[in-house]
Structure 1
Amino acid sequence: MNLDRARSDDDSKIKEQLSTITDVTAVDEHTVKIAIDGKPGLILGMLTSRAGMIASPAAIEAGTLHTQPDGIGAYQAVDIKLGDEVRFERTPDYWDPDAQRVAAMTYYYMPQSQTAVNALLSGQVQIAHIEPDQIGDVDPNETPVIAGGFSAMQFIEFNTAEEPFDDPNVRLALNLAIDRQGIADGLNDGLCEVPIQPWPSSSIAYDEEIGDGAEVWPYDPQKATELLAEAGYPDGFTFDAITSTVSYYAKLSEVIQSISKTSA
């Protein structure tokens, strides 16, 4: 029910992410068979995120999930202030009490990264996600910083049914015009990897044969310019893109915009 809802409901925010799925069948109580149209692409990654989350059928039917989450985890939401904070308390009679190490916790919505750092330094919060370029603002003797590899993808989506993105040369040119390593070193202080596959080298899913793919899609603005000329855009082109107001994504968008202008 969850996958069918996510891929076919008109109100689904992740419908396009599951567009390659053509059929979902419950084989037995513990097995689901998923049929896809063409190559799997990023479908496995999508299923480990929002698309793979299992929600209560009763809560789905009631239409209350956006204000009354109904989960089976170690904690349950008891107080929700939309766009501000959510308070969680232990789920009664949870099967794994060792996972319930605190009685309650509050998550705050802080889209601006500096706000999160200020809250951490002032003691308003005990744990916060901070950006790589803000690590220097934190005293490691007072607030330990944990950094490690995990799978996180930042990408640009194009409607390939619309010009000029219907031309493979244009899409390849845009790929070659983005300096991934430069972004990793500059915006992320070198604290990330830049493989073309969605898994970090620390993951069991990482394919050593594919590697980082730098030789396949390197940073090559000259080749990008040539491809655009072949596609009929010798002077490049401009387009409008929608991005998030979250600090990191806004900065990343500005960096890509700057690189693209330089490459053009």
Structure 2
Amino acid sequence: MGLGLGAGASLLLSACGGVATTAAAGGSATTLRWGWDLPSSWDPVFSSKGWDVHLLSLVYSGLTQLDAEGNAVPALARSWHYAHDGRTLTFALRHGLRFSDGTDVDARAVKASIERGKNHPKSLIASQLTSIGRVEAPDRHTVVLELTETDYQLPTLLAGKTGMVVSPAAFRKDEAALATAPVGHGPFELLSYAQNSMASLRRDPGYWNADRITVDRFEAYPAPDETTALASLQSGRLNVAQIPFSQVSAARAAGLKVQLIPSMVVRVLDVNTSMKPFDDPDVAEALKYAVDRQALLDAEQFGHGTVNLQPFPPGYAGHDPGLQDAYRHDPERARRLLKRAGRGKGGVELTLTTQQAQGIPEQLQAQLEEVGFRTRIEVIPESRASELVYVQHSRALYIDQFAGRESAVQTLQVLFGEEGLMNPSRRTTPELDAATRAVRRTPVDSPRYGQVLREATGVAVRSMPNVFLYTVPRVLARHPGVSAIPRLPVVQRFEGVKAA
């Protein structure tokens, strides 16, 4: 049991391109052209954006990957097993694999890569590897993780960016170069990269699952602007792209195939309780009741998606239907809480930070002012958002969205942990720590796993200030000659994608 999805559920998909044909020796070469955010870094240890995982997965692999139901399945490792107490995890590696620099993917390489992610002073994934005490390589094809505590989440955790294996020869020779020139073992190898412009890749015939990669070239471009998405598809610059909800009908009318795909992305308001006015618990709680989530969903996404008051979407093992009524829109209750906080007269001054100048910020501003928040909108550029919100912790309320991670514990840590990347106040509670440890110590195939995880979800929703709003489906338009993009959880892969 992985993500706990039913067979009909689908999770996060990124956009992929269709196929262009060019002359090549022995036949035609096929090229996928994909519009997506190019990575903040091609080095998974220093990558600062959750979205980076999709591009990085083109050039790296982990010991595991996730199947369509969110279960950990073999990748660089062909098998693994835990000791009876859950404190030792042993992986058996595939034989004969190489990194794109020609060096061997063996146990010593895996050991060095994991240790770098865990111990590098600037690592952005170190906080997710704390349960690993020691890494051993007793022979060329065996990796043993000695754990500091029982942790049954590691096979799913290592399926994502946290577990991507980087060539030790590359990071020992020139670590800084990895930011723009990755060296891993993946379905593709990076040929050239123009930062913020374009990445060109070619299929790696030595990839462990190369038989399932049916295109020869891959080109990645920045995601098109909402106003140019359809034009990019119609002109052939891209073959598959994410489009806004407002353009679904136009895309279909233009002869494009449109996929509306449920995802693990949840719209959320990040609340910093170390800053005024949310250092007052009554004010933070009032915010949860002040928001009309359905009205925001209808306006921003034309009704696509589902109101969701928790970090896990419907269909996920951690989603608790009983929490959906926990903070229903209740303006009067919000006013009472502000009055109890001594803010009934004159209202509460508040700055709402966003990357959008119009739309949901204005609607949210009106909802907040209705209950007594005097709200000013601050628009910041995307390039500054992470620094201001998550590094400097200098913004009290930020409109954001969260993409679910491979591991449920990883999700809880990123959102709510003291070192969580998306926890702007860096505060948590002992109760939530205990609930998260209980999830970590429960085997994912245990009949109790879903219940333990839902209990942790409930503690998080009730004790932490985050205001979860609604799910955000992926809307993909693709050329009709391109086969459907696989429905996979969290990390997009391209096995079996074909063109007519």
TM-score (norm 2): 0.43
Q: Which has the larger radius of gyration?
A: 2
State the Cα distance separating 1:95 from its structure 2 match: 1.8
Change in CA separation of 1:50 and 1:112 when aligned onto 2, cut-off 3 Å? farther
| CA distance in structure 2 between the partners assigned to 1:259 and 1:7 by the alignment | 44
User: Which residue does 1:166 correspond to in 2?
Assistant: 279
| CA distance in structure 2 between the partners assigned to 1:21 and 1:167 by the alignment | 33
| CA distance in structure 2 between the partners assigned to 1:262 and 1:70 by the alignment | 53
Change in CA separation of 1:91 and 1:188 when aligned onto 2, cut-off 3 Å? same
User: Which residue does 1:95 correspond to in 2?
Assistant: 208
2:236 maps to 1:128? no
Q: Deviations over 1:75-131 (max 9, x none)?
A: 122211111121221123112123312111211113622222321133221100112
Asked whether the 8 Å contact 2:203–2:217 carries over to 1, the reply is yes
2:288 maps to 1:180? no
AA matched with 1:131 = P
User: Which residue does 2:36 correspond to in 1?
Assistant: none
Change in CA separation of 1:229 and 1:69 when aligned onto 2, cut-off 3 Å? farther
User: Which residue does 2:355 correspond to in 1?
Assistant: 244
Indicate the SS of the match to 2:295: helix
Q: Deviations over 1:160-219 (max 9, x none)?
A: 22222222222221122222222222211222122233333233x244xx2162310112
User: Which residue does 2:228 correspond to in 1?
Assistant: 115
| CA distance in structure 2 between the partners assigned to 1:5 and 1:263 by the alignment | 49
| CA distance in structure 1 between the partners assigned to 2:331 and 2:157 by the alignment | 31
Asked whether the 8 Å contact 1:55–1:70 carries over to 2, the reply is yes
| CA distance in structure 2 between the partners assigned to 1:68 and 1:139 by the alignment | 38
Indicate the SS of the match to 1:145: strand
| CA distance in structure 1 between the partners assigned to 2:124 and 2:361 by the alignment | 22
Change in CA separation of 1:48 and 1:255 when aligned onto 2, cut-off 3 Å? farther
Paired residue total: 249
Overall identity of the aligned pairs, in %: 26
For structure 1, which runs of at least 5 residues remain unmatched after alignment? Answer: none
State the Cα distance separating 1:224 from its structure 2 match: 1.5
2:371 maps to 1:259? no
User: Which residue does 2:133 correspond to in 1?
Assistant: 25
TM-score (norm 1): 0.76
State the Cα distance separating 1:138 from its structure 2 match: 0.8
| CA distance in structure 2 between the partners assigned to 1:108 and 1:255 by the alignment | 32
Alignment of 1:52-71 (within 5 A): 53-61=164-172, 62-71=175-184
Change in CA separation of 1:102 and 1:25 when aligned onto 2, cut-off 3 Å? same
Q: Deviations over 1:134-182 (max 9, x none)?
A: 2122125711100121100232323322222222222221122222222
AA matched with 2:266 = M
| CA distance in structure 1 between the partners assigned to 2:323 and 2:189 by the alignment | 42
Asked whether the 8 Å contact 1:75–1:100 carries over to 2, the reply is no
Asked whether the 8 Å contact 1:78–1:88 carries over to 2, the reply is yes
CA RMSD of aligned residues (A): 3.6
Indicate the SS of the match to 2:190: strand
AA matched with 2:185 = I
Could you say which structure has the greater relative contact order, defined with CA pairs below 8 angstroms and 6 or more residues apart?
2
AA matched with 1:99 = R
Change in CA separation of 1:4 and 1:230 when aligned onto 2, cut-off 3 Å? farther
Indicate the SS of the match to 1:77: strand
Asked whether the 8 Å contact 1:121–1:138 carries over to 2, the reply is no
State the Cα distance separating 1:65 from its structure 2 match: 2.4
Change in CA separation of 1:27 and 1:93 when aligned onto 2, cut-off 3 Å? closer
Between 1:46-55 and 1:109-118, the stretch displaced more is: 46-55
Indicate the SS of the match to 2:259: coil
For structure 2, which runs of at least 5 residues remain unmatched after alignment? Answer: 1-111, 137-142, 373-500
Asked whether the 8 Å contact 1:21–1:34 carries over to 2, the reply is no
Alignment of 1:152-231 (within 5 A): 152-203=265-316, 205-207=317-319, 210-211=320-321, 213-231=323-341
| CA distance in structure 2 between the partners assigned to 1:30 and 1:122 by the alignment | 51
Change in CA separation of 1:149 and 1:50 when aligned onto 2, cut-off 3 Å? same
Indicate the SS of the match to 1:106: strand
Between 1:161-170 and 1:119-128, the stretch displaced more is: 161-170
| CA distance in structure 2 between the partners assigned to 1:82 and 1:251 by the alignment | 30
AA matched with 2:276 = E
